[in-house]
Structure 1
Amino acid sequence: MAGPLADALAVGGARCAEVTFRTPDAERVLKAMAAHGGLVVGAGTVLTSEQVERAVAAGARFVVSPGFDEDIVEKCRELEVPVVPGIATATELMRALKAGITTVKLFPAESLGGLRTLRALAAPFPGMRFVPTGGIDASRLAAYLADPAVLAVGGSWMATSAHLERGDYKDIRRLTVEAVEAVEAVERSMT
């Protein structure tokens, strides 16, 4: 499953993928996708510094956490791997900034109020960049990407668990192509 998934994402034009640490197979999948070579692969839903170690050992080139945890940030720095901790409030954003973090994950973005919340949080922190995830689908992608505070957008609509269960790598490739085209269209409109 990991090889065909990495193929579908890479052929679809994706340059980066996040493997979440939600299943017992996460490390194996991460290792296989990292070995693919066509993608920069990182670990997501990392909850502990021990998971950081396991993810990096499996080939993770970056770490994403759903919340802000100083131990995770410190372990990532120790292992020299970029970290994108999650935030949902201005207080968490201030803690991240104090720790020297300049890119955070806004999670769960849509449940928190989407772009309205992102813009409200970005206003007093003009140097902070956001990677919103959680409830975002293809229909909201361009709007998020058009915001100057947004560095990237995360979403699972391109490779859902249903796609993987069916082995529907053709549809994963199609949805990835569509997402990449949407990103490129936003980039063109901003130049």
Structure 2
Amino acid sequence: MTSVLDLAPVIPVVVIKDAEDAVPLARALVAGGLPAIEVTLRTPAAPEAIRAIAAEVPDAVVGAGTVISPAQVETAVSAGARFLVSPGWTEALLDAMRGSGVPFLPGVSTVSEVVALLERGVTEMKFFPAEAAGGKPYLTSIAGPLPQARFCPTGGISRESAPGYLSLPNVACVGGTWMLPADAIAAKDWSRVESLAAEAASLATPAA
């Protein structure tokens, strides 16, 4: 895998409370056309969920999100994470992610953070929290001076707003949760998740 940004137009951002849901949920997302799955490290079940998906859903590219410490980098990679996503970055966290051997998307929300990463040879980043940090207008405004930076905006993005982000030259994909409604997860309605994933996977850049 050369870049997680190029696997699909949308990366589902998954919060798993029950590790038993991990495999059927991942299978539904993959069947819908979303192979890159970001399991956030926000729950105790997350490492076990990553391990289960890595072992039992071979077509999934499972990653870990909300990575905020070197220890979590080690935990995630040991569990089988094939990419890492952070909401922000520090020198220590960046060093740990770089040393992990897997692709990573450090989080940024300011031009200075982007420039600092570019200085360090990092060109692929998560823009977070996308809507709160300026959204599509912000990314449009920095595309000119910083054309080498590629982003996965995440945070507050919906099915309706995603195509607008995907139309930008510096956006490769978006992260979102709209294909994972809480009531469908609670009901274990994996067919609904698959259907919503298929809709997300079909998102194309709007005509100019």
Report the TM-score range of the alignment, normalised by the length of the smaller protein: over 0.9
Q: Who is 1:99 aligned against?
A: 120
Q: Which runs of 5+ in 1 are unaligned?
A: none
For residues 107-131 of structure 1, the C-alpha deviation after alignment (integer angstroms, 9 at most, x for no partner) is: 0111122100111232211100011
Structure 2 partner of 1:22: 42
CA RMSD of aligned residues (A): 1.5
- CA drift of 1:3 comes to 1.1
In the other structure, the counterpart of 1:53 is: 74
Q: Which runs of 5+ in 2 are unaligned?
A: 1-20
Show CA shifts across 1:38-77 (max 9, x none): 1111100101010000000011111000002222221122
TM-score, length of structure 1 as denominator length: 0.92
- Give the letter aligned to residue 186 of structure 1: T
Q: Which has the higher helix share?
A: 1
Per the alignment, residue 140 of structure 1 pairs with 161
State the aligned residue count. 187
1:118 to 115, 122, 139: 139
Is structure 2 residue 178 aligned with structure 1 residue 157?
A: yes
RCO higher in structure (CA 8 A, sep ≥6): 2
State the TM-score, normalized to the length of structure 2: 0.85
- Provide the rounded CA distance (Å) in 2 between the counterparts of 1:42 and 1:164: 19
Mapped to 1, the partners of 2:182 and 2:145 lie a distance apart of 38
CA deviations over 1:58-102 (Å, ceiling 9, x no partner): 111110000022222211222211110011111111221122110
Structure 2 partner of 1:186? 205
Counterpart of 2:136, as a letter, is L
Residue 37 (str. 1) matches residue 72 (str. 2): no
Q: Distance in 1 between matches of 2:152 and 2:183?
A: 25
What percent identity do the matched residue pairs reach?
44
Name the SS for the 1:18 alignment partner. Answer: strand
Q: Is 163-172 or 10-19 further displaced after alignment?
A: 163-172
Whichever residue aligns with residue 142 of structure 1, its letter is: P
